[in-house]
Structure 1
Amino acid sequence: QIYDTSCKGVYDRGLFSDLEHVCDDCYNLYRNSYVASACRSNCYSNVVFRQCMEELLLMDEFDKYARAVQIV
C-alpha cells in the first residue's frame, strides 16, 4: 500500500489499513476501477467511501472510520 499524498494528517499504518480495507472490499464487490479510485479520493473523504461503508454493512462503525479519515 502506498501513502496517499492527498492525506495531510498523521501517517498511521493501522488507520490507513482500515480505510484501505473498505475500498478494497468495495472494489471486490463491484469489480469496477472507478470505485477503487473514487473511494480513495480526497483522502477517503468522499461520498463513494460512505456508500461503500453502507454496501459493506459497516455503518455501525461509521464514527470510527470518520475519526480515522480526519486523522489521516
Structure 2
Amino acid sequence: DRALFNDLEHVCDDCYNLYRTSYVASACRSNCYSNLVFRQCMDDLLMMDEFDQYARKVQM
C-alpha cells in the first residue's frame, strides 16, 4: 500500500529533520518500521494518538 508507505516515510523523514542524524534516518525504518526508534519519533513529533493505527497497519 503506497499510501501507508508514504505515511511511514513521512514520520521518519520528519524525525530525521528534527535530529539530523543518519542513525535516526536508518533506525526509524528498520524492521519494517516496527521498532522503538519509530515509536519514539512518533512521540517526539506529537503523533502518539495515531501510533496504534500505524502499528496495526504495519503488522498486516
Q: Of residues 16, 39, 49 in structure 2, which corresponds to 1:27?
A: 16
Judging by fraction of residues, say which structure has more helix: 2
Structure label with greater radius of gyration? 1
For structure 1, the 5+ residue unaligned runs are: 1-11
Q: What is the alpha-carbon root mean square deviation over aligned residues?
A: 0.7
For structure 2, the 5+ residue unaligned runs are: none
Corresponding residue of 1:41: 30
Q: RCO higher in 1 or 2 (8 Å CA, sep ≥ 6)?
A: 1
Aligned length: 60
Determine the C-alpha separation between the residues in 1 that align with 2:58 and 2:15.
Answer: 17
TM-score normalised to the size of structure 1? 0.80
Q: What is the percentage of aligned positions where both structures have the same residue?
A: 83
